[in-house]
Structure 1
Amino acid sequence: MRNFSSRFLPSLIAAGMISATPIIAFADTTVKVGFAAPLTGQYASYGKDLQYGVQLALEDAKAKGIKVDGKAVNFELIAEDDQGDPRVAMQVGQMLVDKGSNFIVGHFNSGTTIPASALYEKAGIPDVNPTSSNPTVNQRGFKNLFSTITNDAQNSGAAARYAVTVQKAKRIAIIDDRTAFGQNQADEFERTVKAAGGNVVAHEYTSNTAVDFRPQLTTIKGLAPDFIFVSNSNPQAALILKQMRSLGIRATYVGGGGVNTTAFIELTGSISEGAYAWEPGRPLESNAAGKDFAARFKKRFGVDVLAYAQFGYDSALVAIKAMQEANDISPAAIRGKLQTIQYEGVTGPISFHSDGSRKDAASTVYQVKDGKWVPVHTETAGS
């Protein structure tokens, strides 16, 4: 076929036979970011908090004009509601696979992440886990699973050592909700307390839908504890504290996660004064990047960070950093770089052990003072 002479091009363009914009050669690259969390139901506030963190990360990345292989990158957030239900999580997980996600941030609950991540492993799609803290998540030999959150062994271990060695607790009682999160965290706390020479006088169980904890608390009261560790999510933790105080139990109250929120204080009122909570990560206000993130988050969404938005933010950006280093948007390339990544996030430095768990993971104990959660102590696990 003969080539067109350049003198014919202007007339062909004007006639609409050739586009004036070379769409194919200079098209943007679209990266699909899968996201799953409970966006309705009991944990919806946490799911939306997490989603906002991911959304802000993608907006920041777009604003920086990130390019891969010389092409500008657009980010498409595919958000699905798993309702905090393992069966639903499998369904939405398959949807994220079928829709061609380049990487995934999720899920929220350990009970949903554990089954859904098996789908992503089979599909070869990297899953950056922002909140699921059961150690089982990273103990299955998966190559595509990376956790930016402190796991229960690290968080509860820190809480237990602090209870025995610093708070000098002598008679410790435990309540947990038997979820993958609550049970594992409580069991790890009990194991570490005993290893540190502490005394566990009771370990009571409830469910994640219960509202009356007086039977368990009445049993505990008869054992005269001076310290109660509660492994339930807010608002259950707040209800336990209220009922504990109504029964005249004056033991030190420590929540094991999900209670470091304004809502907890609002639900408990003045009786929350002095309560403790162990939370994964460092306080956002402990570094300039964290402070900036919190301020921009509130400006963008009109609400304060609830609990875990910063982990969603870092989970998305560490995957995008891996994509940039690979200069490739394929899931396999992103996974390969995540295995060796060194990234400075708003939650601190991020890198991963060979099993995908986070190195140098931190936990912080907070106490309610003058109606506010105040950080008391931060402990970092060894690398």
Structure 2
Amino acid sequence: MKMSRKLLIAAAVAGMGSAVMAQEQIVKIGHIGPVSGPQAHFGKDDENGVRMAIEDLNAKGMEIAGKKVKFQLVAEDDAADPKQGTAASQKLCDDKVAGAVTFVNSGVAIPSSKVFHDCGIPMITGAATNPELTKPGWDTTYRVIANDNALGAALANYTAHVLKLKNVAIIDDRTAYGQGLASVYKKDAEKLGVKVVASEFTNDKATDFMAILTSIKAKKPEAIFYGGMYGQAGPMLRQMAQLGMNDVKLFGGDGICVLELAKVAAGAKTLENVVCADGGASIAKMPGGIEWKKRYDAKYPGQFQVYSPYFYDGVMLLADAMKRANSWDPKVYIPFLQKADYQGVTSRIQFEKNGEMKNPTYTLSKFVNGDKVAIDLK
């Protein structure tokens, strides 16, 4: 049967289209975070950062090994639970993601890092801060934010040298994150001459702290350090106000250093006594922070928490390493990731041999009229 000239041209064009499609390489990037449960604000914010980076990469277009690359997000929920997190990690391995930018909670990240190591896939976290994460020194584990050693030391220094407080109490939530951060703070504060008058613990689901706070109040601390998340710190602030602990500071790490704390504290006057530490610079002091945040807010209004720019940079780091290696195969590009020298939204990122950032920064903040405000330490 003879084909008309138009049909022949159409068939040729269709064939060219198929050839172009065949040349397009799908490269999967994984994200795991608590997108359900009490920490969902963090998980969704982080996933937004990953999604935004993937959209930006795909809009620019990238060729690796002669093929046009299309990045694709593979997202899983860990509900801040280690068992769910390790299962999700294995799922990403089975799905053959090229890399993962992932985890809010150190208690999830630490066991999950072994899963990624065993399947040879690099994972970058922009939020899990326990130093134990990078202790094995695996070439698959990276962190783009200051760890708890830096945050705990910064808060201890602020306690002793800036506020000149003498007596503090400590509460932790018994998670890898909360207990680890509280331990670092206690060690550094005591080195600086601060007396720890009470050490108490709770759990990461608790909302009633009256018994613990009543016991602590009797010991007359000038501040309480809480190792845990905002979901517990909010009720704690309300109950401190109920007990008349209006002059007692509440210190904490990045787990409480979010705008959501003001909502959960529900107007408690004690919110003004919070001093908290984030790994990294404030948005205003990040090299690309202000412009990036404008774009983020336009895409995801009202969803910003704290970590999303680090997760954005994590994806860009993976893509940069792939580009320099001319391969999306982890075995080929991991050595290029180790030698990263990348100017991101958050900072210039380079890694130590164990996957920690070189020269990480931190920010101390307070709350003024419900807004989180960076403290000028100069």
Q: TM-score range by the shorter chain?
A: over 0.9
Tell me if the contact between 1:126 and 1:334 (Cα under 8 Å) persists in the aligned partners: no
CA distance in 1 between partners of 2:377 and 2:109 (Å): 27
What is the aligned counterpart of 2:16 among 18, 21, 32?
A: 21
The answer on whether the counterparts of 2:160 and 2:189 sit within 8 Å (CA) in structure 1 is yes
Q: 1: distance between equivalents of 2:12 and 2:275?
A: 71
The AA in structure 1 aligned to 2:50 is V
Amino acid at match of 1:33: I
* Segment of structure 1 superposing worse, 354-363 or 178-187: 354-363
Equivalent position of 1:324 in the other structure: 323
CA deviations 1:141-177 (Å, max 9, x no partner) are 2111111121111111111112111111110111110
Mean Cα deviation higher: 270-279 or 195-204: 270-279
- The question of 1:207 aligning with 2:206 is answered no
For residues 228 and 279 of structure 2, the distance between their equivalents in structure 1, rounded to whole angstroms, comes to: 14
SS in 2 for 1:20: helix
Mapping 1:334-349, distance limit 5 Å: 334-349=333-348
Residues 147/378 of structure 1: CA separation in 2 closer, same or farther (3 Å cut): farther
- Say if 2:71 is the partner of 1:68: no
Q: What are the superposed Cα offsets for residues 247-272 of structure 1, whole Å, 9 maximum, x if unpaired?
A: 11221222222223332222321511
Measured in 1, the distance between the counterparts of 2:210 and 2:268 equals 20
Structure 1, unaligned runs of 5 or more:
1-9
Partners of 1:189 and 1:17 lie apart in 2 by 69
Task: Show the counterpart of 1:133.
Answer: 129
Q: Tell me if 1:289 matches 2:288.
A: yes
Match of 2:253 among 252, 256, 265: 256
Displacement of 1:189 in angstroms is 0.4
CA drift at 1:82: 1.3
Residue aligned with 1:79, SS = strand
Q: Give the aligned partner of residue 189 of structure 1.
A: 185
Are the counterparts in 2 of residues 110 and 137 from structure 1 also a CA contact under 8 Å? yes
Indicate if the aligned counterparts of 1:282 and 1:378 stay in contact, CA closer than 8 A.
no
Question: 2:303 and 2:37 mapped to 1: Cα distance?
Answer: 20
Partner of 1:278: 277
Other-structure match for 1:314: 313
For structure 2, the residue ranges without an aligned partner over 5 or more in a row are none
Distance in 2 (alpha carbons) for counterparts of 1:304 and 1:353: 32
Q: CA deviation at 1:358?
A: 1.2
AA aligned to 2:87 is Q
Q: Does 1:77 align with 2:57?
A: no
Q: Residue 244 of structure 1 is aligned with which of 240, 251, 257?
A: 240
The structural deviation recorded for 1:120 is: 0.9
SS of structure 2 residue aligned to 1:235 = helix
Provide closer, same or farther for how the CA distance between residues 21 and 134 of structure 1 changes in structure 2, counting only shifts above 3 A: same
Within the alignment, does 1:147 sit opposite 2:143 as a pair?
A: yes
Partners of 1:11 and 1:310 in 2: how far apart? 51
Distance in 2 between residues matched to 1:204 and 1:341, nearest whole Å: 41
CA RMSD of aligned residues (A): 2.1
Counterpart in 2 of 1:164?
160
How far apart are the structure 2 equivalents of 1:142 and 1:180? 19
2:171 alignment partner, SS class: strand
Q: Look up the SS of the partner of 1:353 in the other structure.
A: coil
How many residues are matched? 371
Contact in 2 for aligned 1:284/1:346 (Cα 8 Å): no
Name the aligned partner's letter for residue 141 of structure 1: G
In 1, the alpha carbon distance for the partners of 2:221 and 2:17 equals 74
Using the size of structure 1 for normalisation, the TM-score is: 0.92
Q: Displacement of 1:11 after TM fit?
A: 11
The code of the aligned residue for 1:317 comes to: M
Matched residues in 2 for 1:358 and 1:15: separation?
54
